[in-house]
Amino acid sequence: MTLDGTNTWLLRTGGGTVVVDPGPDDEGHLRRLAASGPVLLAVLTHHHADHTGGAARLRELTGCPVTAYAPELCAGSAPLSEGEPLPVPGLSPDVLPTRVLATPGHTDDSVCVLVEHPATPAVLTGDTVLGRGPTVVEGRLAAYLRSLDRLHTLGPIAALPGHGPVLASIADAAAQLSAHRRERVEQVRAALAAGATTAEDVVERVYPGLEPGLRRAALHSTHGALDYLREA
């Protein structure tokens, strides 16, 4: 479910480093992050433990505040605010131009971070967009599709995901994921018309020959599609 593991991204300035998604509680990894400092801030793109598990230990090692969209994940910092720069203590937004994008869908508290550097703009996507393959939608599919539409408007800038390789264009990636989700919705609609009555029935029809380890993710996606169709 984490592809090659969790990606931690470092935003470096002359005054120090901002760590985006410290990852799980892995002492060696966290000590390497601490050594990249001074660490000014740790940013969590959402609440899942593979992104947040090491945040408390990184704060112990460095004294850095921790911020996220969900207030309960924050320590020594205000929560992230839609459309605002990252709250880096003592650092002007002009030095590290960033903007928080609320992108619910994978989880209700998912955010992306747009780095608005004029020469090398990029967007850190957490699990909203992965380096390969679709993400699991635990929130509402309608919200996720709106998040993808929003990311598409950023244009052909690099996407730095929470798992997997860098993507050359967030616009292309978001368009492909949106098309894939909408195709799945139509497949679920067709399965219902053919007589499926439960999410399990739909999975059997839409995902024939599915590996057992992927069944949970398929059920998540199917429940999301069913809710989307009920809301339509």
Cα(125)–Cα(95) distance, integer angstroms: 21
Q: Is the pTM of this model over 0.85?
A: yes
Which residue positions in the chain have pLDDT lower than 70?
A: 1-3
Instruction: Report residue 104 as tokens.
Output: 């619910």
- pLDDT per position as a tens digit, 37-48: 899 999 999 999
So where are the chain's domains?
Answer: 1-91
Query: What pLDDT sits at residue 63?
Result: 97
Cα(75)–Cα(65) distance, integer angstroms: 6
Query: What pLDDT sits at residue 100?
Result: 98
- pLDDT per position as a tens digit, 3-34: 688 999 999 988 899 999 999 999 999 999 99
> What CATH superfamily is the domain 1-91?
Ribonuclease Z/Hydroxyacylglutathione hydrolase-like (3.60.15.10)
Query: What pLDDT sits at residue 8?
Result: 98
